[in-house]
Amino acid sequence: MSEKKKLLVTGISGLLGWNLFHAAQDRFDTYGTHNTIPIPDADDHVLCLDFLDGMELELLVERIAPDVVIHTAAMTRPDTCEREKELAYQVNTEATKRLATVCHRQGARFIHISTDLVFDGQKGEPYEPDDCMNPLGHYADTKRMAEEAIPEAISNYAIVRVALMYGRSMTGDRGSTERVVNTVRDKNSVTLFTDEWRTPILVDDACAIALGLTDVDATGTFHAGGTERITRYAFGLRLATSAGFDPQTIVPGSIHDFQGSPPRIPDVSLDSSKTTTLLGLHLNDIDAGLARLYPGP
Ligand SMILES: NC(=O)c1ccc[n+]([C@@H]2O[C@H](COP(=O)([O-])OP(=O)(O)OC[C@H]3O[C@@H](n4cnc5c(N)ncnc54)[C@H](OP(=O)(O)O)[C@@H]3O)[C@@H](O)[C@H]2O)c1
């Protein structure tokens, strides 16, 4: 029997990392890192690591000697990144560069998770992987800088730009969809925008794409968006209905009325056909994805 390859997933206390860590167990000898949130029933394959500690990061990768690293860990809240600019740069850009460099030195394949928000949302049709990045907020800018640094650090890499993700996390409060459901569960309303377009993807499908990219030696940038382009408002209505809440808790608004920072991006829909064709994947549409999360009575 052949030995399983070693996979290191960073950020396993987060939405994507947690799902990836579990989805990969059958195929890989899987290791995972977390930072501030403890992992229940952790064994010696679960490691606590702050990406700000560059030396510890390098030692950890050298000790595990993974064949593949999937890097999901990041500061992911755009508002926090605006407030903590240098910290966000260190975690999202500098630590990613360092991880890519140590992967190159160790001969590991590096799969980096990026975001649809590297685009400015003005194209008016779904973005393809070669379209120009023009991020409008600091979070997205730190992800852009990481994307640009990776090809200089390592040749065996894939960058996966993920769209708005929906699914269940370990902590139950990660990602915008869990936050919407938690708010309406508390009988509060949520304003979502009728002019903010996305291609939401079920977290299981994002995992299938990231894991699929471990099997091929394709290099470059890949999109991971769902099959439907929809507004955040329309998606929120379907989410609330599937989760068994009154759709009237979802209130329509416009990005033009949004006062916060960074600005809301109108349309970062992704064309993911290059990815699904390469990997031979059929992704869930929104009804199928929501039915998996909320199977009903
Ligand atoms: N969620 C989405 O809709 C979405 C959309 C597009 C792209 N993405 C990208 O997908 C990736 C995963 O997103 P997610 O929503 O799953 O993230 P998440 O739930 O916010 O989790 C982030 C993870 O990063 C870890 N982390 C944060 N700062 C760290 C540090 N200084 N050192 C070590 N680990 C640190 C967190 O650890 P602790 O919690 O233990 O502190 C956590 O495990 C990210 O790269 C994000 O940019 C997400």
Distances (CA, A) of 32 to 46, 103, 109, 162, 291: 5, 15, 16, 20, 29
Closest CA to 53 of 82, 90, 85, 17: 90
pLDDT of res. 35: 98
Output the CA 243–ligand 1 centroid distance in Å.
24
Question: pLDDT for 144-201, tens place per residue?
Answer: 999 999 999 999 999 999 999 999 999 999 988 899 999 998 889 999 999 999 999 9
Task: Record the pTM.
Answer: 0.98
pLDDT mean across residues, the chain: 96
Average of pLDDT values for 264-270?
A: 97
Cα angle value 238/184/249 (rounded, 5°): 65
Q: Does ligand 1 have an atom closer than 6 angstroms to the CB of 223? A: no
Residue type, 218: A
* Minimum CA distance residue for ligand 1 atom 43: 11
CA dihedral 211, 213, 215, 218 (to 10 degrees): -170
Give the distance (Å) from ligand 1 centre to CA of residue 67: 22
Q: Answer whether 225 contacts ligand 1 (Cβ < 6 A).
A: no
Residue with tokens 């590096």: 110
What domains does the chain contain, in order, with CATH numbers? 5-166+201-227+269-285 (3.40.50.720)
Nearest-CA residue for atom 17 of ligand 1:
14
| pLDDT attached to residue 108 | 98
Counting Cβ atoms within 10 Å, is residue 255 exposed (0-12), middle (13-18) or buried (19+)? middle
pLDDT tens per residue across span 193-207: 999 999 999 999 999
Q: What is the position in ligand 1's atom list of the atom closest to the CA of 116?
A: 6
Alpha helices, DSSP H only, in the chain?
15-23, 54-64, 78-83, 85-89, 95-106, 138-153, 175-185, 203-215, 232-242, 273-279, 286-293
Query: What is the residue type of 29?
Result: D
Q: Give every CB contact of residue 253 below 8 A, 6+ residues apart in sequence.
A: 191, 192, 193, 194, 233
CA 69 – CA 115 distance, rounded (Å): 18
At 176 the pLDDT is 82
pLDDT tens digit sequence for 89-148: 999 999 999 999 999 999 999 999 999 999 999 999 999 999 999 999 999 999 999 999
Do the bridges between strand 230-231 and strand 197-198 make them parallel or antiparallel, or are there none, so unpaired?
Answer: antiparallel
State what percent of residues in the chain have pLDDT above 70: 99
pLDDT band at 1; cut points 50, 70, 90: low
> Please, are residues 161 and 206 in contact by the beta-carbon 8 Å criterion?
no
Is the CB–ligand 1 distance for residue 32 below 6 Å? no
111 lines ligand 1 (CB under 6 A): no
**Dihedral (Cα; 90, 91, 95, 97), 10-degree rounding:** -80
Q: 234-250 pLDDT, tens per residue?
A: 999 999 999 999 999 99
Choose one of 10, 16, 39, 71 to mutate for the ligand 1 pocket test, by most ligand atoms within 8 angstroms of C-beta: 16
Ligand 1 lined by 201 (C-beta under 6 Å): no
Sign of CA dihedral 73, 79, 82, 83: negative
Residue 2 has pLDDT above 70, yes or no: no
pLDDT of residue 146: 98
Measure 248 CA to ligand 1 centroid, in angstroms.
30
Nearest CA to ligand 1 atom 11: 72
